[in-house]
Amino acid sequence: MPYARLKNFKMYYEEYGRGEPVIFLHGFTLDRRMWTPQIIFFSRFYRVILPDARGHGLSEAPESGYSRADRVEDLVQFADNMKIDRFHAVGLSMGGSTVLGFALKYPEYLKSLALVSSGAAGYDIGKKISRIDELARTRGIEVAREKWKDISLNWFGEDKKTIRDLMETMINEHSGAVWKDPRRGHYPREYDLDKIHLIKIPTEIICGSLDKIFTGLGKLLNEKIKGSCLKIFENVGHMVNLETPARFNEELKLFLEGADG
């Protein structure tokens, strides 16, 4: 099984295709499998690389190191381990926040930046996350996991059962290590919106119109990252790549081709 040996854990990854590398970063408690609808499509044109973040999927789960700053350092170590000098970065939600932080610290690695339903350090997305953290501390990881599934899967009815089943599998198999991290809630705070105007990398922002919190953030990112492009997909929620894969793939491909050009 392919693992990259980083400083204090082994990171699992999969790769497909040949050409310019595109690294896809998944969302919180999910893993590389959330990008399944993108693998066949993009591997015809690019070297598609799908790592599992620490504590997620098949990557090892150290006791600590689950801050955004740690994820940024994990990504630069991963790129160096893979001998990748420059790459396109695509991140959804937590993965978007990771590549934002990466773009601010290591812009020389990036050919382009695609932020999908992206988070951002220091941007308040409500009290749901803190409530889950409190449940994990007071009632245990499995109680927190069940509550997190209630929140994360509520949008996916019978018409989206395939997506729901995939996400539920990933969440069930998530290590839960992030909730056990003794430093969770005590890491230094970062504030992306104060600095992202410094980003000069070609940037595309993709959101679903029904994902109100993250679409609001997407509009802010678009305002502050000069020259960025904002695409809002109507009648789509948070998991844009899963809910409307054909449109997502075509839109992202156009953007990547433009950045390559």
Local confidence pLDDT in tens for the 261 residues of the chain:
799 999 999 999 999 999 999 999 999 999 999 999 999 999 999 999 999 999 999 999 999 999 999 999 999 999 999 999 999 999 999 999 999 999 999 999 999 999 999 999 999 876 667 789 899 999 999 999 999 999 999 989 999 999 999 999 999 999 999 999 999 989 999 999 999 999 999 999 999 999 988 999 999 999 999 999 999 999 999 999 999 999 999 999 999 999 987
DSSP state of 86: S
Could you count the other beta carbons within 10 Å of the beta carbon of residue 235? 9
Q: Judge contact between 123 and 93, C-beta under 8 A.
A: no
Radius of gyration in angstroms for the set of CA atoms belonging to the chain, rounded to a whole number: 17
Residue 126 confidence (pLDDT)? 66
Q: How far apart are CA 170 and CA 163, in angstroms?
A: 11
What architecture does CATH give domain 3-125+190-260? 3-Layer(aba) Sandwich (3.40)
Residue-range domain boundaries for the chain:
3-125+190-260
Exposure b/e, 64-95, CB count within 10 A at least 16 = b:
bbbbbebbbbbbebbbeebeeeebbbbbbbbb
Token pair in block for residue 178: 């992030």
